[in-house]
Amino acid sequence: MVELDVSILDFLSPVFSFLLIFAVTYAVLDKFKLMGENRAVKAVAAFSIAMLFLFSAPARRFIDVTTPWFPILLVGALALLSLFMFMGLKESDLSDAAKDPKVYWSVIIVGLLLFTIALIQVLDTGEGPDVKAGERTTEGINSLVHPRVLGAIFLLVVASFAIRLISEGAN
Protein backbone atom coordinates (compact mmCIF):
# COMPACT_ATOMS: atom_id res chain seq x y z
CA MET A 1 0.00 0.00 0.00
CA VAL A 2 1.28 3.47 -0.89
CA GLU A 3 1.50 6.01 1.92
CA LEU A 4 1.06 9.73 1.45
CA ASP A 5 4.23 11.64 2.35
CA VAL A 6 3.23 14.90 4.01
CA SER A 7 6.62 15.82 5.42
CA ILE A 8 6.70 18.89 3.16
CA LEU A 9 3.90 20.36 5.29
CA ASP A 10 6.29 20.62 8.25
CA PHE A 11 8.53 22.73 6.06
CA LEU A 12 5.60 24.93 5.01
CA SER A 13 4.09 25.24 8.50
CA PRO A 14 5.58 28.72 9.12
CA VAL A 15 4.04 29.95 5.87
CA PHE A 16 0.60 28.63 6.85
CA SER A 17 0.94 30.17 10.32
CA PHE A 18 1.95 33.52 8.81
CA LEU A 19 -1.02 33.50 6.41
CA LEU A 20 -3.45 32.53 9.16
CA ILE A 21 -2.28 35.28 11.53
CA PHE A 22 -2.23 37.84 8.72
CA ALA A 23 -5.76 36.95 7.59
CA VAL A 24 -7.27 36.86 11.08
CA THR A 25 -5.58 40.09 12.15
CA TYR A 26 -6.62 41.91 8.99
CA ALA A 27 -10.20 40.63 9.35
CA VAL A 28 -10.41 41.82 12.97
CA LEU A 29 -8.94 45.23 12.10
CA ASP A 30 -11.34 45.58 9.17
CA LYS A 31 -14.43 44.37 11.03
CA PHE A 32 -14.04 46.59 14.08
CA LYS A 33 -12.52 49.57 12.20
CA LEU A 34 -9.69 49.74 14.73
CA MET A 35 -7.41 51.63 12.33
CA GLY A 36 -9.92 53.61 10.33
CA GLU A 37 -10.91 52.96 6.74
CA ASN A 38 -7.46 52.88 5.11
CA ARG A 39 -6.85 49.30 3.93
CA ALA A 40 -3.12 49.82 3.43
CA VAL A 41 -2.61 50.77 7.09
CA LYS A 42 -4.58 47.70 8.20
CA ALA A 43 -2.56 45.48 5.84
CA VAL A 44 0.74 46.83 7.15
CA ALA A 45 -0.36 46.33 10.76
CA ALA A 46 -1.56 42.78 10.04
CA PHE A 47 1.68 42.03 8.18
CA SER A 48 3.74 43.33 11.11
CA ILE A 49 1.85 41.22 13.65
CA ALA A 50 2.14 38.14 11.43
CA MET A 51 5.90 38.71 11.10
CA LEU A 52 6.21 38.97 14.89
CA PHE A 53 4.47 35.61 15.19
CA LEU A 54 6.70 34.17 12.47
CA PHE A 55 9.92 35.10 14.26
CA SER A 56 8.74 34.02 17.73
CA ALA A 57 9.16 30.27 18.15
CA PRO A 58 6.80 29.94 21.17
CA ALA A 59 4.10 31.97 19.41
CA ARG A 60 4.45 29.82 16.27
CA ARG A 61 4.29 26.64 18.39
CA PHE A 62 1.13 28.00 20.05
CA ILE A 63 -0.46 28.53 16.64
CA ASP A 64 0.63 25.05 15.55
CA VAL A 65 -0.94 23.51 18.66
CA THR A 66 -4.24 25.41 18.55
CA THR A 67 -4.95 25.49 14.82
CA PRO A 68 -5.94 21.81 14.45
CA TRP A 69 -8.56 22.21 17.18
CA PHE A 70 -10.68 24.67 15.20
CA PRO A 71 -11.79 22.24 12.45
CA ILE A 72 -12.43 19.57 15.08
CA LEU A 73 -14.59 21.95 17.13
CA LEU A 74 -16.36 23.18 13.99
CA VAL A 75 -17.25 19.65 12.86
CA GLY A 76 -18.40 18.78 16.39
CA ALA A 77 -20.54 21.91 16.62
CA LEU A 78 -22.09 21.26 13.20
CA ALA A 79 -22.84 17.65 14.17
CA LEU A 80 -24.46 18.83 17.41
CA LEU A 81 -26.53 21.47 15.61
CA SER A 82 -27.57 18.91 12.99
CA LEU A 83 -28.64 16.55 15.76
CA PHE A 84 -30.74 19.26 17.40
CA MET A 85 -32.34 20.18 14.08
CA PHE A 86 -33.01 16.50 13.39
CA MET A 87 -34.86 16.33 16.72
CA GLY A 88 -37.15 19.17 15.63
CA LEU A 89 -35.55 22.46 16.65
CA LYS A 90 -35.87 25.26 14.15
CA GLU A 91 -33.14 27.64 13.05
CA SER A 92 -34.84 30.51 14.86
CA ASP A 93 -34.73 28.50 18.11
CA LEU A 94 -31.02 27.89 17.62
CA SER A 95 -30.30 31.56 16.93
CA ASP A 96 -32.29 32.55 20.03
CA ALA A 97 -30.29 30.04 22.09
CA ALA A 98 -27.01 31.42 20.73
CA LYS A 99 -27.99 34.87 22.05
CA ASP A 100 -28.62 33.47 25.53
CA PRO A 101 -25.84 34.47 27.97
CA LYS A 102 -25.72 30.93 29.39
CA VAL A 103 -24.81 29.55 25.99
CA TYR A 104 -22.24 32.07 24.86
CA TRP A 105 -20.56 32.22 28.27
CA SER A 106 -20.26 28.43 28.16
CA VAL A 107 -18.65 28.68 24.74
CA ILE A 108 -16.28 31.40 25.97
CA ILE A 109 -15.29 29.32 29.01
CA VAL A 110 -14.58 26.24 26.86
CA GLY A 111 -12.54 28.40 24.48
CA LEU A 112 -10.53 29.87 27.35
CA LEU A 113 -9.96 26.39 28.75
CA LEU A 114 -8.62 25.17 25.39
CA PHE A 115 -6.49 28.32 25.11
CA THR A 116 -5.03 27.68 28.58
CA ILE A 117 -4.30 24.02 27.83
CA ALA A 118 -2.56 24.94 24.57
CA LEU A 119 -0.55 27.65 26.33
CA ILE A 120 0.55 25.19 29.01
CA GLN A 121 1.59 22.68 26.34
CA VAL A 122 3.67 25.27 24.52
CA LEU A 123 5.33 26.76 27.59
CA ASP A 124 5.97 23.45 29.39
CA THR A 125 9.70 22.73 29.22
CA GLY A 126 9.41 19.19 30.53
CA GLU A 127 11.90 19.78 33.32
CA GLY A 128 11.58 17.54 36.35
CA PRO A 129 12.29 18.16 40.01
CA ASP A 130 16.00 17.37 39.57
CA VAL A 131 16.86 20.60 37.76
CA LYS A 132 19.83 22.71 38.76
CA ALA A 133 19.40 25.52 41.26
CA GLY A 134 18.14 28.74 39.71
CA GLU A 135 16.33 27.06 36.81
CA ARG A 136 12.59 27.29 36.52
CA THR A 137 10.75 24.11 37.42
CA THR A 138 7.40 23.11 36.00
CA GLU A 139 6.08 21.00 38.85
CA GLY A 140 3.33 23.54 39.50
CA ILE A 141 2.19 23.37 35.89
CA ASN A 142 2.45 19.57 35.90
CA SER A 143 0.25 19.40 38.98
CA LEU A 144 -2.32 21.72 37.39
CA VAL A 145 -2.64 19.57 34.26
CA HIS A 146 -2.79 16.29 36.17
CA PRO A 147 -5.96 14.37 35.23
CA ARG A 148 -7.27 14.35 38.81
CA VAL A 149 -6.92 18.12 39.13
CA LEU A 150 -8.49 18.76 35.72
CA GLY A 151 -11.34 16.39 36.64
CA ALA A 152 -11.92 18.25 39.90
CA ILE A 153 -11.91 21.60 38.10
CA PHE A 154 -14.37 20.24 35.52
CA LEU A 155 -16.69 18.99 38.27
CA LEU A 156 -16.52 22.36 40.05
CA VAL A 157 -17.39 24.20 36.83
CA VAL A 158 -20.31 21.84 36.12
CA ALA A 159 -21.51 22.19 39.72
CA SER A 160 -21.32 25.97 39.58
CA PHE A 161 -23.36 26.06 36.36
CA ALA A 162 -25.89 23.64 37.89
CA ILE A 163 -26.22 25.77 41.03
CA ARG A 164 -26.64 28.91 38.94
CA LEU A 165 -29.29 27.34 36.70
CA ILE A 166 -31.18 25.83 39.63
CA SER A 167 -31.14 29.10 41.57
CA GLU A 168 -32.41 31.03 38.54
CA GLY A 169 -35.23 28.53 38.14
CA ALA A 170 -36.25 28.95 41.81
CA ASN A 171 -36.89 32.71 41.43
Q: CA-to-CA distance for 149 and 57, rounded, in angstroms?
A: 29
**Domain membership flag for residue 87:** no
φ, ψ at 25 (rounded to 5°): -65, -45
**Domain membership flag for residue 155:** no
Domain count along the chain: 1
**Domain membership flag for residue 28:** yes
Instruction: Write the CB contacts of 59 (distance below 8 Å, at least 6 apart in sequence).
Output: 52, 53
Alpha-carbon distances, residue 132 vs 20, 128, 139, 140 (angstroms): 39, 10, 14, 17
Residue 111 has pLDDT above 90, yes or no: no
Q: CA-to-CA distance for 19 and 42, rounded, in angstroms?
A: 15
**Domain membership flag for residue 21:** yes
Low-confidence winner among 7-11, 13-17, 45-49, 68-72 (lowest mean pLDDT): 7-11
Alpha-carbon distances, residue 115 vs 56, 110, 144, 145 (angstroms): 18, 9, 15, 13
**Domain membership flag for residue 104:** no
Instruction: Write the CB contacts of 133 (distance below 8 Å, at least 6 apart in sequence).
Output: none
**Domain membership flag for residue 96:** no
Contact 120, 146 (CB under 8 A): no
Q: CA-to-CA distance for 84 and 94, rounded, in angstroms?
A: 9
Residue 137 has pLDDT above 60, yes or no: no
**Domain membership flag for residue 145:** no
pLDDT for 32-90, tens place per residue? 998 889 999 999 999 999 999 999 888 888 888 888 888 888 899 899 889 988 998 88
Q: Provide the domain limits for residue 41.
A: 1-67
**Domain membership flag for residue 22:** yes
Residue 95 has pLDDT above 80, yes or no: yes
Contact 121, 104 (CB under 8 A): no
Residue 120 has pLDDT above 60, yes or no: yes
Residue 21, pLDDT score: 94
Q: What distance separates the 2 farthest-apart alpha carbons in the chain?
A: 64
Residue 135, pLDDT score: 45
